[in-house]
Structure 1
Amino acid sequence: MTLTAGLLLLSVFFVLLVIGVPIAISIAGASIATMLILFPFDVAVFTSAQKMVTGLDSFALLAVPFFVLSGIIMNNGGIAIRLINLAKLLAGRLPGSLAHTNVMGNMLFGSISGSSVASAAAIGGVMSPLQEKEGYDRTYSAAVNIASAPTGLLIPPSGLLIIYSLVSGGTSVAALFIAGYIPGILWGLATMAVAYFIAKRKNYPVARKVTFSQGFKVFLDAVPSLLLIVIVLGGIIAGVFTATEGAAIAVAYSFILSVIYRTFSFKLLPKMLLETVEVTAVIMLLIGTSSMLSLVMSFTGIPEAISAGLLGLTDSPIIILLIMNIILLIIGTFMDITPAVLIFTPIFLPVVSAFGMDPVHFGIMMAFNLCIGNITPPVGSALFVGCSVGKVKVEQVFKPLLPFYGAIILVLLAVTFIPALSLSLPKLFGL
């Protein structure tokens, strides 16, 4: 019966996805259909509904709407342009300095807003016209913006890592946040390395020199925005407040900062709140239905079967991790990050735990894989937004993106097989 139930669960889920049913509804439909063959009707319906509600009964999940609202306020609060000016300063006189400014801008703004889409839109929307004016190829500019947009999902604070913490059984949010720094920065540096060689070959212009006083003014202007990271992460690491309380502080700080910058409009507040509710509702529905799915999978024994299958295939952790990377890369190309984390964490985490992989390390590896899917067709949201603001078609930008994909994959392999890249900072802070 459990084998039949497992096959039914997978079959219904993928059939619903193929015919275009939204993923949350597909998860719920497959879960309920499977429960109905395992239990009587009333028990199946009651248990499914109860699990969906209890799956959302978590204080940690309050961080999600707060971080979403914080990102929306920042996106409308004039913070992006100040971070772009700082990125210009940091890029210095590298060949193709505007492209490097784009990458650094995405790293800075993405880490604060926690959204690759917002980063691609805000930073790319400013940088693409500037690069075109300086003679940069439009497809190259779009590729640089797209390739670096997901760095903010790894560099904390990150709502994605909070969701992983919840579904993995309580992995430390503070440890995950700190662990994301080095992989996220390496992603950005890899993108800059590719941009450097292309800029050198195409002889793209170098930025003009900036005086010390000009640079100091730009730095001071950006400090208040950067302080958000220091306050939120510093408070969480020091134990002053939880990740959820830190998210609420991020909302208050970004609101105050936008008012000080005189870029906040109270007329836009209802729209911002509505957008926050819409995004949060989608995430919460996914979490609720995924809780049902995890219950059904525990009854059918799917995680144990996959774990036994992988461990029976080989006893080499290297081969198993390579297989997982390939699967997650494929999954990321057609599934959004949040549902992928919710579905595949309970499947793969027991496997890596069997050979002693740290759940923090695995969480960063998984997030890194799925972030790549954010910039690949057919459902890469940052890819489509980056093409839109860059005024290019997806088919035009795909070839310029290939060398960036190659560099990012190399960093992924380093993150996968060098645990210190993810674990050294958490250990340094005693997490």
Structure 2
Amino acid sequence: MDTSLLATIVLFGSFFIMLVIGVPISVGIGISSLLAALTLVPLDIITFTAAQKLFEGIDSFTLLAIIFFMLSGSIMNNGGIAIRLINLAKLFVGRMPGSLAHTNVVGNMLFGSISGSAVASAAAIGSVMTPLQKKEKYDPSFSAAVNIASAPTGLLIPPTTAFIVYSLVSGGTSISALFMAGYLPGILMGLSIMIVAYFIAKKEKYPIADKVTFKQGLKVVFDSLPSLSLIVVVIGGIVAGIFTATEGAAVAVLYSAILAAFYREIKISDFPIVLKDTLVMTGIVLFLVGASSIMSWVMAYAGIPQQITDLLLSISDNPIIILLLMNIILLAVGIFMDITPAILIFTPIFLPIATNIGIDPVHFGVILIFNLCIGITTPPVGSALFVGSSVANVSIESVIRPLFKLYIPMVIALLLVTYFEWISLLIPRLFGLM
């Protein structure tokens, strides 16, 4: 058997087996990579090269941006941001049928973009919205489904660590361009969920929120402005070239700390816990990045990306068909794998195929992350699904049926983003980032 083919079988076969038996993904990536490397090069070379690639993978200034954004998100999760953004969202969509469902979606879009975490968004927004929706006699499973489906919108709307990870592994795709490219797809994802929620709300006769006076509306906007200003400061500074993404992330930490102190909803004694949580998350991400660097080296040495490219191009050279196949594969990957390891593993495989058929790396990054955003809402391992169900106190089985009604518009939105590249590239081009 050809050594490259053997390495491919060992790499993905052993990795899949370890996923099934419950081995942590980062450990599974490392072990499967080493096993595959044994079919290609001697053990002494593997030992040296693997250690070298592990440290090379995390020796990046850009990775600091992920750490700082995680810290900023942790501070904001504990700083009383959610309720202010929910009030603002309700101001925008409160007069629509099923106003609380739409408020949930817009709240996730706002809070998710600030915290940079779908799980944090599902927990923070869901914990506030669930009692309100229960009081208005919303179906608990429907409420949970809307919260779960909309939680990942913040992974497309910047600032988001998902694009930073993609930039790192894709060879330096502009973070500024990726951030700007995420706005319209993220909004489209949220709107697609709201359209279905609207018709369900009309059918079930869910109530419309009370009218808000001009004075009340002004107060809501004023209360939320400090939180929303974070996006303007960080994204505006990065796009304008005032600071890099890493420096912008550090600014986000300082801003969120000042904001938490201003709102007086986080104590100084809470900061050690916030720092500890951030360190744990950082350790997980850095180990994933390091292990994925070893896997990338093995795949490149074995010529796996080229093999997969040749295989897909042998099926068809039509970009429409190839993009459809990649979407199907990535949606399947998202069902079984969390977003960060999936980005690290599949970007080196699919990005060369995408560029080979004329897809811009920025556009492909949006397609990739959109697919994986849907994945984290699906069973059996969707993190947003588990957190959203837990917060709403409903079983996963009961929430699956209403979720399926929301998957359809989300996939339609994904296909629109895939085949109409201007949805992703319009804003980066307007800002001269491409």
Question: Given the two structures, how large is their TM-score scaled by the length of structure 1?
Answer: 0.99
Alignment of 1:1-150 (within 5 A): 1-150=3-152
Other structure's SS at 1:135 match: coil
- Which shifted more, 128-137 or 4-13? 4-13
Counterparts of 1:114 and 1:96 in 2: how far apart (Å)?
A: 26
| Cα deviation, residue 204, structure 1 | 0.7
Counterparts of 1:52 and 1:83 in 2: how far apart (Å)?
A: 40
Counterparts of 1:314 and 1:122 in 2: how far apart (Å)?
A: 45
Q: Which residue of 2 aligns with 1:282?
A: 284
Give aligned pairs, total. 431
Q: Could you list the per-position Cα deviations for residues 282-322 of structure 1 after superposition, in whole angstroms to 9, with x for gaps in the alignment?
A: 11111000000000001111100000111111011000010
AA partner of residue 395 (structure 2): K
Counterparts of 1:397 and 1:13 in 2: how far apart (Å)?
A: 30
| Cα deviation, residue 32, structure 1 | 1.2
Other structure's SS at 1:55 match: helix
Counterparts of 2:288 and 2:18 in 1: how far apart (Å)?
A: 15
Counterparts of 2:14 and 2:99 in 1: how far apart (Å)?
A: 50
Q: Which runs of 4+ in 1 moved over 3 A?
A: none
Contact 2:65 2:247 in 1 (8 A): yes
Q: Which residue of 1 aligns with 2:359?
A: 357
Q: Which residue of 1 aligns with 2:416?
A: 414
Q: Could you list the per-position Cα deviations for residues 246-284 of structure 1 after superposition, in whole angstroms to 9, with x for gaps in the alignment?
A: 001001000000101111211111111110011011111
Counterparts of 1:11 and 1:391 in 2: how far apart (Å)?
A: 37
| Cα deviation, residue 92, structure 1 | 3.0
Q: Which residue of 1 aligns with 2:425?
A: 423
Other structure's SS at 1:289 match: helix
Which of the residues 367, 376, 379 maps onto 1:377?
Answer: 379
Ranges in structure 1 where 5+ consecutive residues have no aligned partner: none
Other structure's SS at 2:317 match: coil
| Cα deviation, residue 3, structure 1 | 2.3
Other structure's SS at 2:226 match: helix
Counterparts of 2:38 and 2:232 in 1: how far apart (Å)?
A: 50
What is the Cα-based RMSD across aligned positions, in Å? 0.8
AA partner of residue 37 (structure 1): T
Counterparts of 1:385 and 1:10 in 2: how far apart (Å)?
A: 29
Query: Is 1:403 matched with 2:389?
Result: no
| Cα deviation, residue 362, structure 1 | 0.3
Other structure's SS at 2:62 match: helix
Query: Is 1:387 matched with 2:397?
Result: no
Q: Which residue of 1 aligns with 2:176?
A: 174
State the percentage of identical aligned residues. Answer: 62
| Cα deviation, residue 17, structure 1 | 1.8
Counterparts of 2:231 and 2:72 in 1: how far apart (Å)?
A: 12
Q: Which residue of 1 aligns with 2:330?
A: 328
Counterparts of 1:156 and 1:239 in 2: how far apart (Å)?
A: 16
Q: Could you list the per-position Cα deviations for residues 180-234 of structure 1 after superposition, in whole angstroms to 9, with x for gaps in the alignment?
A: 0000001111111111111111111111111101101110110000000000000
Q: Which residue of 1 aligns with 2:275?
A: 273
Counterparts of 1:374 and 1:184 in 2: how far apart (Å)?
A: 15
Other structure's SS at 2:6 match: helix
Counterparts of 1:220 and 1:197 in 2: how far apart (Å)?
A: 32
Which of the residues 253, 256, 261 maps onto 2:255?
Answer: 253
Counterparts of 1:270 and 1:282 in 2: how far apart (Å)?
A: 19
| Cα deviation, residue 34, structure 1 | 2.1
| Cα deviation, residue 137, structure 1 | 1.1
| Cα deviation, residue 111, structure 1 | 0.5
Q: Which residue of 2 aligns with 1:298?
A: 300
AA partner of residue 2 (structure 1): S
Other structure's SS at 1:149 match: helix
Other structure's SS at 2:350 match: helix
Which of the residues 151, 157, 162 maps onto 1:155?
Answer: 157
Other structure's SS at 2:58 match: coil
AA partner of residue 197 (structure 2): A
| Cα deviation, residue 23, structure 1 | 1.0
